[in-house]
Amino acid sequence: MRLSKLLVDGKLHESLTEKSREDAKTNCKEKNIQLPALRILDACSGTGCISLLLHHQLSRHFRNLRIIGLDISPIAVALSNENLKRNLRNGVLQESAIGSADHKIEDGPSESATLVPQVQFMTHNIFDGLPKRIRPVDIIISNPPYISKAKFNCETTRSVRNWEPKLALVPGPRNLLKHTQSPSISLEDIFYYQLLSIHRASFSNVLLMEVGDKEQAIRVVKLGLRLHLRNRNRIEIWRDSPDDVVDVVDMGEMVTWIGGQRIFMKGSGKVRAVVLFRTRDFNQPETKLPPS
C-alpha cells in the first residue's frame, strides 16, 4: 500500500515518522510521560484484512503502533478476530499484534511491546462518532459501503450479490441522511460525508477513503470542499497504481478542477481513492461534528 510506503519512507508529516517519535520518546522520558502511539483507525473494517496488512507492513518500523478496526457488524468483527488469530498461527504477523511478545524493529534496538494489543477490532457505528477511548487518531482509512441499491441490483456480478454481505457494499436505510442535515447527498456517498466530518472534528493527519469510480471521487472531493477541508488539507485522488509516473501526453489526466480547486490525480489505472493530508494545525482541540 502506498500509505505504508509513505510512512516507512518518512514522506508524510514529521509527526508521523519514526524519527520524530524517537525525539518524542526522549521528551517523554524527561517528563515521565508515556510515548504516544501511531494510531490508525480502520473505519468499516469488515474482515480486518486492511488492518492486518498495515500491521504486517508497519510493525517492524514503528515501536508503538495501534490499529483499531471498527465495524457495525458483530459477525464481521468476529471474523476479523479469527483472521488475526489465523495469521498469528501462520507466522504472518508478529506477536505484538496481540501484545504478548517482544517487538523487534528493523534497523533499530529491540524494545519490549506493551501488554496492549497493537491490533484490536470493535463493534461500533461510526455515525455515533468515535469512541473516546480510541481518540486521538493519526490516520483514518476506510473502504466504506459505496454502491447504490440500483447499481447493486443491476451492475454487480451475480457472485457479488450472492456471496458478498450487502451491508458491506450498500449503505443502509435512508434515515442515515438525518446525520448530514442535507437531503442533497446521495445515499451511496453518506459514509464519505461522515468520514470527512470525523476527520475534521478529530484533527486526524491523514484520511484515506476507497471509492467506486472517478465520478464518486469527484463527489467526495466536493463534499470535502463543502466542509471547508481544503483550507487545512491537501486533497488528492489516487488511481490503482498511485506511484506510477504518467506520460506527458496524459498530463491532462493528472490534474482536475473541482469546485474551482485544482486537485491532483496520482498514478495510472482506474480511480480508487480520495486522500486528505492535513497541512497545519495538527494539535487543535477536538470540535463537534460540523453541520452540512
Domain coordinates of the chain in residue numbers? 37-278
**What pLDDT was estimated at residue 4?**
85
Weakest mean pLDDT among 35-39, 140-144, 147-151: 147-151
Grade residue 285 by pLDDT with cuts at 50, 70 and 90: very low
53 or 168, which is more confident = 53
Confidence check: pLDDT of 282 > 50 = no
**What pLDDT was estimated at residue 259?**
83
Q: Which pLDDT tens digit goes with each residue over 22-55?
A: 554 555 455 544 445 799 999 999 999 999 999 9
Confidence check: pLDDT of 169 > 80 = no
- Whether 102 contacts 93, CB under 8 Å: no
Provide the 3-class DSSP secondary structure of residue 89: helix
CA–CA gap between residue 56 and residue 58 (Å, rounded): 6
Grade residue 60 by pLDDT with cuts at 50, 70 and 90: confident
Grade residue 104 by pLDDT with cuts at 50, 70 and 90: very low
Confidence check: pLDDT of 191 > 70 = yes
Confidence check: pLDDT of 111 > 90 = no
Bridge partners, residue 142, by sequence: 43, 209
- Mean pLDDT for all residues in the chain: 77
**What pLDDT was estimated at residue 155?**
60
Weakest mean pLDDT among 32-36, 116-120, 209-213: 32-36
CA–CA gap between residue 188 and residue 198 (Å, rounded): 18
* Phi, psi values for residue 107, rounded to 5°: 60, 35
CA–CA gap between residue 116 and residue 199 (Å, rounded): 25
Residue 103 burial by Cβ neighbours in a 10 Å radius (0-12, 13-18, 19+): buried
* Phi, psi values for residue 171, rounded to 5°: -55, 150
Confidence check: pLDDT of 214 > 70 = yes
Topology given in CATH for the domain delimited by 37-278: Rossmann fold (3.40.50)
**What pLDDT was estimated at residue 5?**
82
Q: Which pLDDT tens digit goes with each residue over 234-256?
A: 999 999 988 876 554 454 457 78
